[in-house]
């Protein structure tokens, strides 16, 4: 009884998250809860991912409970080849990557299994083992592809965000790095279990440990996905190129950019984007980004933050502001940082000290002088 319950835990967890994300697809008035910045496409893919995972682990539960059927083996093979491509589809939608045929290609083995499995089993009388060997090989290729491309996708998206926005929004995707790590562990465990085969765990209590491990990993994936708050406008659309690039010398452009940042103090705008800077210089984001990178070897966010830190240092050194807390709060607001946490982190990265220690050191030098 206890063993049967433990074996069913992955199925129960997947069913829970499938129901959770399906509820989020309902109109807000007809449900009891909602999440901030939930987007229909992301939610729909997560719901489908966990529905497929529910079918997969239901097949597992039935098999290890001694209830076997040809159709269960069929659905197990098909669904097994669906879950990882669906997770990759979730990453692509979350990061607003440009359209690609990667996901349809990754789903080809699942479609092939859906059609060819019954033909091979009933029409050609092919034994299960050769068919499942092909499924395992396709599954392994899928897993390796999704892990490598998923990591590349997240890294390129964070670079794109840092090169477009001056605030700290790229950190919104950091939990997804954790989920990809969990996903990677899940993938390794799944590959090992796939090549060992379900028959290896058919007897005794050896199936309980993998069931508990997969339950923990599957719950962690759902929890992080449900709490990853990425507003649609937080990630710029990935584009191939921009047309009508103005012919302008890089040195001239960077001079314009520097003048605007110093004289017009554009850095004070906490929501400043590279598009704002491009419009102000009568250029475009590609040229502005290239000019900043070539001149200073940094991305847009770091470039803007350097001006913000210089301004905050000037305010922190102002002896007319008597209270340390007041000076730090004023420095954060006036230099363009949206939150105190971001201000402290960037200040420490660029100066090697905290705002409070910097202020006290400058006041100490002033007093000695």
In the chain, where the domains are located: 2-231, 250-368
The angle formed by the CA atoms of residues 35, 45 and 37, to the nearest 5 degrees, is 25
Evaluate if residue 194 carries a pLDDT over 70: no
Take residue 82 and report the two structure tokens written for it: 């669906």
Residue 7 pLDDT:
84
Cα–Cα distance for residue pair 136/144, rounded to 1 Å: 12
CA-closest candidate to residue 103, choices 81, 85, 91 = 85
Helix (H, G, I), strand (E, B) or coil at 273: strand
Average model confidence (pLDDT) for the chain?
Answer: 83
Residue 369 pLDDT:
44
Residue 297 pLDDT:
92
Residue 243 pLDDT:
46
Digit-coded pLDDT (tens) for 168-188 = 777 778 788 788 888 788 777
Give backbone dihedrals phi and psi of 337, rounded to 5 degrees, phi first. -85, 135
Digit-coded pLDDT (tens) for 89-98 = 999 988 888 8
Helix (H, G, I), strand (E, B) or coil at 353: coil
* Mean pLDDT calculated for residue range 38-50: 88
Digit-coded pLDDT (tens) for 163-172 = 888 877 777 7
Give backbone dihedrals phi and psi of 165, rounded to 5 degrees, phi first. -115, 150
Take residue 192 and report the two structure tokens written for it: 């090992």
Digit-coded pLDDT (tens) for 226-280 = 887 676 656 666 554 444 445 557 788 999 999 999 999 999 998 898 989 989 9
Q: Looking at the DSSP assignment, which residues form a beta bridge with residue 273?
A: 165
Distances (CA, A) of 166 to 148, 154, 273: 28, 18, 6
- Say yes or no: do domains 2-231 and 250-368 share a fold: no
Structure letter (DSSP) for residue 124: S
Give the rounded percent of residues in the chain with a pLDDT score beyond 90: 33
Given CATH 1.20.1070.10, say whether it is the number of domain 2-231: yes
Superfamily of domain 250-368: Homeodomain-like (1.10.10.60)
Cα–Cα distance for residue pair 59/52, rounded to 1 Å: 11
Take residue 173 and report the two structure tokens written for it: 């995707």
Helix (H, G, I), strand (E, B) or coil at 359: helix
CA-closest candidate to residue 315, choices 302, 323, 342, 350 = 323
């Amino acid at each position: 009884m206890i063993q049967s319950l433990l074996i069913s835990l992955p199925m129960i967890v997947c069913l829970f998250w499938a129901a959770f994300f399906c509820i989020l697809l309902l109109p807000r008035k007809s449900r009891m809860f909602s999440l901030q910045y939930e987007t229909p496409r992301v939610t729909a893919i997560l719901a489908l991912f966990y529905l497929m995972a529910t079918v997969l682990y239901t097949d597992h539960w039935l098999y290890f409970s001694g209830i076997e059927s040809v159709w269960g083996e069929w659905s197990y093979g098909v669904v097994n080849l669906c879950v990882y491509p669906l997770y990759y589809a979730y990453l692509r939608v979350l990061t607003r990557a440009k359209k690609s045929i990667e996901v349809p290609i990754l789903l080809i083995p699942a479609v092939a299994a859906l059609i060819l499995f019954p033909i091979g089993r009933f029409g050609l009388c092919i034994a299960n083992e050769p068919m499942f060997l092909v499924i395992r090989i396709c599954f392994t290729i899928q897993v390796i592809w999704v892990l490598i491309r998923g990591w590349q996708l997240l890294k390129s998206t964070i670079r794109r965000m840092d090169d477009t926005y001056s605030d700290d929004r790229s950190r919104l995707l950091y939990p997804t790095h954790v989920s990809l790590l969990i996903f990677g562990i899940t993938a390794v465990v799944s590959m090992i279990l796939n090549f060992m085969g379900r028959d290896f765990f058919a007897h005794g209590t050896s199936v309980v440990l993998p069931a508990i491990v997969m339950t923990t990993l599957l719950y962690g994936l759902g929890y992080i996905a449900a709490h990853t708050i990425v507003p649609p406008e937080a990630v710029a659309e990935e584009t191939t190129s921009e047309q009508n690039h103005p012919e302008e010398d890089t040195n001239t452009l960077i001079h314009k950019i520097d003048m605007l940042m110093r004289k017009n103090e554009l850095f004070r705008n906490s929501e400043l984007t590279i598009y704002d800077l491009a419009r102000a210089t009568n250029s475009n984001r590609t040229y502005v980004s290239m000019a900043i990178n070539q001149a200073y070897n940094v991305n847009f966010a770091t470039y803007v933050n350097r001006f913000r830190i210089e301004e905050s240092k000037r305010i922190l050194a102002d002896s007319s502001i008597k209270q340390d807390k007041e000076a730090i709060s004023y420095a954060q607001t006036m230099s363009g940082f949206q939150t105190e946490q971001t201000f402290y982190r960037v200040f420490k990265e660029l100066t090697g000290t905290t705002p409070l220690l910097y202020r006290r050191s400058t006041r100490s030098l002033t007093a000695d002088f």
